[in-house]
Amino acid sequence: MRKGLFPSLALQNIRKNGKFYLPYILTIIGTVTGFYIISAIASDEGVAKLRGAAYVELMMSLGINIIGIFAVIFLLYTNSFLMKRRHKELALYNMLGMEKRHIAWILCYESLYVALIGIVGGLLCGILLHKLVSLALFKLLRFDIPFGFTISTAAIKASTILFASIIGITLLFNLVRIRKAKPIELLRSSSAGEKEPKTKWLLALIGVLSLGAGYYIALTTKTAIQALTIYFLAVFLVIVGTYCLFTAVSIVVLKQLRRNKKLYYKTKNFIGISGMLYRMKQNAVGLANICILSTMVLVMVSGTLSLYLGTEDMLDSFYPGQIISEITINTEAENVFQKDIMVENINDIISKNNGSITRLEEYTFLSFVVGRGENYYHTNVEKSLNADYVQLCFITEEDYMKLTGKKVELKENEILFFSDTMKDKENIRIESGDYSFDFTIVEHLNSFPTTGGLTSIVDTGYGVVKDEAVLQTLYEGQKSAYGEMASNLKWIAIIDTDQKEEIQIKCAEEISSLSSANGIGDYSFLYVTTRAQNSYEVYAMTGGFLFLGLFLGFLFNMATVLIIYYKQISEGYEDKERFEIMQKVGLPKKDIKHSISMQILIVFFAPLVVSAIHVAFDFRLMIRLLSLFSLTNNGLTMLCTLGTLLGFAVIYGIVYWLTARTYYKIVSAE
Amino acid sequence: MMSLLEVKNLKKIYTTRFGGNHVQALTDVSFSVDAGEYVSIMGESGSGKTTLLNILAALDKPTSGDVLLSGKDMTKIKDKDIAAFRRDNIGFVFQDFNLLDTFSIKDNIFLPLVLAGKDYKEMEQRIKPLAEKLGITDILKKYPYEVSGGQKQRTAVCRALITNPQIILADEPTGALDSKSTDQLLHLFGKINEDGHTILMVTHSVKAASHAKRVLFIKDGVVYHQIYRGNSGYDEMYQKISDTLTLLTTGGDKNA
C-alpha cells in the first residue's frame, strides 16, 4: 500500500470524528496538565524548604497517586466508548479490502497523533499553569511566594511516561478487539437490538438494604472515633447501594409504574416510562458513576473548604493565646513549683524583649479519662475495651473566678459541672482506685472558660472544685488506679503580648528554658508554644487539603462532564430513529421536544439529586470527623456544603444546557 | 362523486443545502383515488415514488400542486396540526416495519391511540377484533425483536388500522419479507380492502402490485401509464404489469 496513506488516513479519521475525538483529546490534555502540575509542585525544591513542607509533600504525593489511578481508569473508559462508535467505520475499511494489519497501522498512527497532541498540549498547559497554580497554593498555605519560573524536567518525564503507557495500553486493547472481531460483527455491534431489562428483585433489595444501612450508620454515629472507624464501611455501603439503586431499583419502580394502565397509557408517561426503562439498562452504571463521582467532589470540596475556612477557629481552640506555657507539675518534688515566681519570670522575659503582656490567664488543671457506669464514673476502664469513655476536667474555684469574673463559694464536696449528657443529674460519684468521691452539683454550667488546650474525641465533663487540695486528692485517686498511666496536674498560662510574631517566638524559647535555677521550683516538664509558629503548620495542612480537594474536585468534575457528554451524544443517535418513527405515527414535533427534554432532565439530574441526598446524610459524619480537627463550627460547615452544592449544580446546569442542545440537534436532524 | 384522494399537478424540486443544485423529483403528477380503491404505484428507483408517498403522508411538502384528502388540502395544514391530522386520517405500513423495540407488540399498536389521548378501555376494545383478524393475538405481549418479519409487518398493519384511517399508505410493505410472508400479507391487504379500506401502495414488486385493482406507473416524475385489473386474475395482471414495465424500460419514450 502507498506509503504515507496510513498517517494521512489516521489524521483524517481524527478530524472527521471530531465530535468524539475532541473531548477525548481534551481529557488527555486536562489530565496531563493536572498530573504535571502536581508532580512539579511535589518535586519543587523551593517548597521543600518551607515551613510545613512535610504536609504539602504528603498531600502532593497523595494527589499524584489519585490522579494516576484516575487517569488510567478514565482514559480506558472513554476509549472504549470511542471505539464502540467507530466499529462501523473500521468494518467498512475491512470490507473494502483493507487487511486487519492495515487497520492496525491506522489505529497505531491515530494513537500516535492523539498521544502527541494530548501529551505535548497537556505539558504546555501544565508548564504555563504551574506558576499560577503554585501561586494559588502558596496563597492558601500562607507561604511567602517565591520568585522565578521553573520547568520541572522530572515532572515532564513522569507525565510523558505515564500517559504514553496509558495510551499504549488503550491501543493494545483496541488492536486485540480488532483482531478478534469479524467484519460483519463490527458492522452490527453499534446497532445491536436491545432487550428490555430484566427485573432484578434481589439486587434491588440489596440496594435498598445497603443504602439504608449506610444512611443508618451516618445517622446514628455519635462520636468522632466511631465516625472515623465506620466511615469507610458507610461509604462502601452507599456506593454499593447507589449502583443497585440505579441498576435494579430504578427498573423495579419503572415496571411498577408501567403496570398501572391508567397512568401508563397517557401520552407523556407512555413515551417517558418506556424510554426511561430502555435508557436505564444502558445507562444505569454510567449514571451511578456520575452520582458517585459527584458525591466525591461534593464531599471533598465541602469538607476541605470547611476545614480551611475553619482554620482560625481551629487555631483558637488549640492555641487560645499567642504564647502558651504549660507546666506538668511534679507533685513528689521537694522543691514545689511556684506559680507566682513563674509569672514574674515570664513578665521579665517579655519586658526584656521590649514588650508587655496584654492578657494573662493562668490556672491549674487536671484532666483524666474515666469509664461511664450507670450512675457514676469509674476507673476500671481497662476491663472493658468497649467502655463508654468520658473525659473529666477540673479547675479550682479561685481560677474559675479569675477566668470568668463570677463569684462562687463552694464547699469541699460541692461542684459546678458542665456536660451535655449530665444535665439532669444532681450528684456525681467517681470511683477512683482506692478513693471514691461524691460531689453534689451546685450548678449546671452552660459553658466552661477553658478546654486546657485539649481536643476531645469523647464526651467531656468539666468541673469546678473548691481548691487545689481537692484537685490534689482527685489526682491521687486516679493515680492510685492508673499508676504510670495517670494524668498529671498541669499549670497552664495563656499569654498575649504586644510584640511581633518573631519576637513572641523568641520569648517562648526563652520561657521554655526556665528551670529551678530561676526559683520556680522543680517540675516534670515544661512546654511553651506560640500560635504564630503553629499557624504555619496548621495552614500548611488545611491549605494543602483544600488545594487537593479543589484540584481533584476539578478533575472529577471534568470526568463527570465528559461522561455526560458522551452519553447524551450516543443516546442522541439511538433516539433519533425512535423519534422519527413516532413522528411518522403522529407525534407532534412540540411533544417530541417536550418528551426529550423531560427524559434528559431526569437522566441528568437524578444523579445530582441522589448525590445531594448522599451529602445530606454524610453531613453528620463529616461534622464528627471535622471535630477531630477541633472544628465545631457546624454553621460554617453547613454553609460550605450548601455553597459547594450550589456551585456544583450551576456547573452541572451549564453542561446540561449545552448537551441538551447538541442532543436535540442530533435527534431532530433531517 | 368526489374522489377520496386527489393529487393535482404535484411538483417537487430538491435544492442542495447551499442552493447550488436542483433535483427535480416530481415534475407534474396528477391522479385520484376513490374511496374503497386498492391502488399500486410502480416505478424504478429514482422515479419519485418515495417523494410522492412522503408528500401524500404529509411528511414532506410539495414545491407546488395540491393534495386533497376528502376535499381538505393537506399542503395547507399548519405545521402544528399536521401530526394530529396524520394520526387521525392516514394509516402507515413501512418497508422496515418501524416498530419500536422499547414497546411490546401491543404497546406499539396502541402508540397512535395513546398519542391521540384515547381511553385505555377503548383501546382494548379496538385491538381485540383487529388482532384476531390479523392473527397476532398470541404475540401481543412479546417484543418486536422476539417475533418474525411477517408478524412484525402484521403488527404494523394493525397499528395502521387501529385509528380507523381514511386511507392506508404502504411503502414497499413486502420489501423485507420472505415469499411466504409476502403471500400472507398481500392476501391480508385484499381482505382489508374488501372490508372497505382504501389502500395506496408504493412498490416495485410486480407480485405485490398485481394484487391491486389499479396500477399507476411513474417515470421521471410523471404518471406515465395506468392499467386496471378489471376482471382479470392475479396471473393475468402480473403479465400485464410485466409487459408494461418492459415497454417502459426498453422503448418507453413517450414521444417516440
**What pLDDT band is residue A422 in, cutting at 50, 70 and 90?**
low
Interface test with B, best of A271, A277, A584 (most B CBs within 10 A): A584
Residues of chain A contacting B107 with CB distance shorter than 8 Å: 270, 274
Cell 441526598, residue located: A613
Q: What is the pLDDT of residues A319-345, one digit of tens each?
A: 888 888 888 887 777 777 878 888 888
Place of cell 476507673: A379
Burial label for B36, CB within 10 Å (0-12, 13-18, 19+), is middle
Calculate mean pLDDT across residues A575-582: 81
Q: pLDDT tens, A66-103? A: 888 888 888 888 888 788 777 777 777 777 777 878 88
Residue A523: closest CA among A481, A488, A478: A488
* Closest CB to B101 among A193, A583, A589: A193
3-state secondary structure B131-146: HHHHCCHHHCCCCHHH
Reported as a pLDDT band with limits 50, 70 and 90, residue A534 is: confident
Residue pLDDT, tens place only, A177-216: 877 777 666 555 544 455 666 778 898 999 999 999 999 9
Cα B42 to Cα A237: distance, rounded to the nearest angstrom: 65
Q: Which residues of B touch A578 (CB under 8 A)?
A: 100, 102
What's the grid cell of residue A65?
A: 497517586
Residue of B88, B102, B117 with shortest CB distance to A578: B102
Chains A and B form CB pairs within 8 A to the count of: 73
Separation in Å, CA of B99 to nearest CA in chain A: 7
DSSP element (H, E) containing B188: helix B179-194
Cβ–Cβ contact B94 with A under 8 A = yes
Phi and psi for A515 in degrees, rounded to 5?
A: -150, -170
In one letter, which amino acid is A49?
Answer: K
Residue with more model confidence, A315 or A641? A641
pLDDT confidence of residue B256? 37
What is the average pLDDT value for chain B, to the nearest integer? 86
What is d(CA B223, CA B216) in angstroms, rounded to the nearest whole number? Answer: 7
pLDDT given at position A137: 84
Instruction: Identify the CA nearest to A123 among candidates A147, A79, A148, A154.
Output: A154
Query: Grid coordinates standing for A536?
Result: 504555619
Place of cell 509533600: A57
To the nearest whole Å, the CA of B87 is away from the closest chain A CA by 5
The whole-number pLDDT of residue A613 equals: 94
Which of B53, B56, B100, B113 is the best residue to mutate to test the A interface, defined by the most A CB atoms within 10 Å of its own CB? B100
Name the minimum distance, in Å, from the CA of B248 to any CA of chain A: 33
**Would you call A193 an interface residue with chain B, using a CB distance cutoff of 8 Å?**
yes
Residue with cell 423529483: B25
Choice between A569 and B228, residue whose per-residue pLDDT is larger: B228
pLDDT in the model for residue B168: 92
- Contact: B115, A196; criterion CB under 8 Å: no
Calculate mean pLDDT across residues A584-610. Answer: 80
Write out the DSSP string of A9-75. Answer: HHHHHHHHTHHHHHHHHHHHHHHHHHHHHHHHHHT-HHHHTSTTHHHHHHHHHHHHHHHHHHHHHHH
Q: How close does chain B come to A616, measured CA to CA in Å?
A: 36
Q: Do A584 and B123 touch (CB under 8 A)?
A: no
- Counting beta carbons within 10 angstroms of the beta carbon of residue A16, is it exposed (0 to 12), middle (13 to 18) or buried (19 or more)? exposed
Which residue bears the cell 485517686?
A477
Chain B from 110 to 139: CB within 8 A of any A CB: 110-112, 114-117, 120, 123
pLDDT range class, residue B255, cuts 50, 70, 90: very low
- Residue B2 contacts A, CB cutoff 8 Å: no
Tell me what pLDDT residue A164 has. 94
- Which helix (H) or strand (E) covers residue B251, if one does? none
pLDDT surpassing 90 at residue A218: no
Least confident of A106-115, A211-220, A444-453: A444-453
> pLDDT-derived band of residue A161, with 50, 70 and 90 as boundaries?
very high
Of A331-345, A370-384, B133-147, the range with the highest mean pLDDT is B133-147
Mean pLDDT of A609-631: 87
Instruction: Find the residue in B nearest to A280 (Cα).
Output: B102
Question: What sign for the dihedral angle of Cα A595, A597, A598, A604?
Answer: positive
Residue pair B175/B95 in contact by the 8 Å Cβ criterion = yes
Judged by CB atoms closer than 8 Å, whether chains meet at B100 and A587 is answered as no
Region of poorest pLDDT, from A221-230, A332-341, A420-429:
A420-429
CB B28 within 8 A of CB B10: yes
Asked whether the beta carbons of A571 and B102 are under 8 A apart, the reply is no
Residue A340 burial by CB count (10 A; 0-12/13-18/19+): exposed, middle or buried? exposed
Own/partner long-range contacts of A259-265 (Cβ < 8 Å, ≥24 apart): A261/B120, A262/B120, A265/B110, A265/B114, A265/B120, A265/B123
Name the band, by pLDDT with cuts 50, 70 and 90, for residue B19.
low
Question: Which tens digit of pLDDT belongs to each residue from B39-93?
Answer: 999 887 777 888 888 888 888 888 889 899 888 888 888 877 888 888 888 888 8
Is the pLDDT reported for residue B102 higher than 50? yes
pLDDT at B244 over 80: yes
CB contact under 8 A, B111 and A585: yes
Has the ipTM of the complex gone over 0.90? no
- CA dist A231 and A256 (Å) reads 34
Determine if the pTM surpasses 0.90: no
pLDDT at B141 over 50: yes
List the single residue in A277, A583, A591 with the smallest CB-CB distance to B102: A277
Cell of B89: 386520517
**CA atoms lying within 13 Å on the CB side of residue A644:** 30
Q: What is the pLDDT of residues A123-136, one digit of tens each?
A: 999 999 988 888 88
Residue A122: partners with Cβ closer than 8 Å, 6 or more residues away: A28, A29, A30, A31, A32, A33, A35, A36, A159, A163
Q: How far is CA A125 from CA A74, A122, A138, A555, B9, in A?
A: 20, 5, 20, 15, 64
pLDDT at position A69 is 86
Cα–Cα nearest to A572, from A475, A462, A667: A667
DSSP string across A581-605:
HHHHHT--HHHHHHHHHHHHHHHHH
Nearest CA in chain A to B100: A578
Q: What pLDDT, on the 0 to 100 scale, is given for residue A117?
A: 94
> What is the spatial order of strands in the sheet that B22-33 belongs to?
B72-73, B64-69, B5-15, B22-33, B222-228, B214-219, B38-42, B198-203, B167-171, B90-93
Max Cα-Cα span within chain B: 61
Sort out which chain B residues have CB atoms less than 8 A from A591's CB and list them. 83, 115
Asked if B120 and A265 come within 8 Å (Cβ–Cβ), the reply is yes
Extended beta strands in A274-382, E state: 323-329, 357-372, 377-378
On whether any CB of chain B is under 8 Å from the CB of A583, the answer is yes
- Residues in A touching B102 (Cβ below 8 Å): 196, 274-275, 277-278, 578
With CA atoms as reference, the chain B residue closest to A274 would be B102
- B177 and B155 Cβ atoms separated by less than 8 Å: no
- State the alpha helices, DSSP H only, in A515-588: 531-585
Rg value, chain A, Cα: 33
By the 8 A CB rule, do A416 and A442 touch?
yes
C-alpha to C-alpha distance for A172 and A176, rounded to whole angstroms? 6
State whether B114 and A584 contact (CB < 8 Å): no
Burial B156-183 (b: 16+ CB within 10 A, else e): bbbbbbbbebbbbbbbbbbebbeeebbe
**In a mutagenesis test of the A interface, which of B59, B94, B99, B115 is the best target, namely the one with the most A β-carbons within 10 Å?**
B115
For an interface test with A, which of B103, B147, B162 has the most A Cβ atoms less than 10 Å from its Cβ? B103
Task: Tell me whether residues B103 and A274 touch, CB distance under 8 A.
Answer: yes
* pLDDT beyond 60 at B131: yes
Helix (H), strand (E), coil (C) string for A190-231: HHCCCCCCCCCHHHHHHHHHHHHHHHHHHHHCCCHHHHHHHH
pLDDT of residue A138: 82
**Residue A456: predicted pLDDT:** 63
pLDDT at A2: 59
Beta-strand relationship, B72-73 and A427-432: unpaired
Chain B positions touching A585 (Cβ under 8 A) are: 87, 92, 98, 111-112, 115, 159
What average pLDDT does chain A have? 82
- A256 to chain B, minimum CA–CA distance in Å? 15
Residue A1, pLDDT score = 52
Q: Residue A568 — pLDDT band, cuts 50, 70, 90? A: confident
Interchain proximity B115–A267, CB inside 8 Å: yes
Q: How far apart are CA A618 and CA A456, in angstroms?
A: 21
Taken as a whole, chain A contains a residue count of 670
The per-residue pLDDT for A188 is 57
